[in-house]
Amino acid sequence: MIRNEAEYKEAVQRLEEERKRLSDHRAALVKTGLSKSEIKRAMDPLRSFHLQLQEEVEAYERLKRGDVGEIENLHGLGRTLVALRIALGLTQRQLAERLDVNESQVSRDERNEYHGITVDRASRILDALGVNLKSVFDGPVLEKSTATANDGR
């Protein structure tokens, strides 16, 4: 996951370099007289890395546009906290200042995707971001009780 502008710029540069490398490698394979299927087989692993990097760049660009997505049952909360910071246009340093911690702490926490974060800590981060988390509970028991309540009108 790309977490800041420096990583984003580096990834974009690597992506462009990788595009050229792919093109050059394909041209070299064509010159050897390999068949299309042999060239494809040789290029697929390289394309896989390229596509993964491209997906990371596109994901960061979506975050910058504010497209954070949803979480379910708090799975992915850490990634979402990172995504919210990016979507809000805050640097790790700015978040650290709001939390009154060192920037290195925020960097370390984000690198670990806030693994094992407490609810209290998540709440402090959400407050520092100026974001409210709203929950909706859903499930068979709740659907059944709602249906029963509606039948008793």
pLDDT at site 72? 82
Residue 140 is predicted with a pLDDT of 78
Q: Residue 133: which of 50, 52, 77 has the closest Cα?
A: 77
- Provide DSSP, 65-109: TT-----BTTBTHHHHHHHHHHHTT--HHHHHHHHTS-HHHHHHH
- The whole-number pLDDT of residue 9 equals 96
Q: What value does the mean pLDDT take over residues 46-74?
A: 90
- Checking if the pLDDT of 43 tops 80, the result is yes
Q: Sorting pLDDT into bands at 50, 70 and 90, what band is 32?
A: very high
* 53 touches 14 (CB < 8 A): yes
Q: Which tokens is 6 given?
A: 């420096």
Give the pair of three-digit tokens for residue 18: 């990788």
Given pLDDT bands bounded at 50, 70 and 90, which one contains residue 134? confident
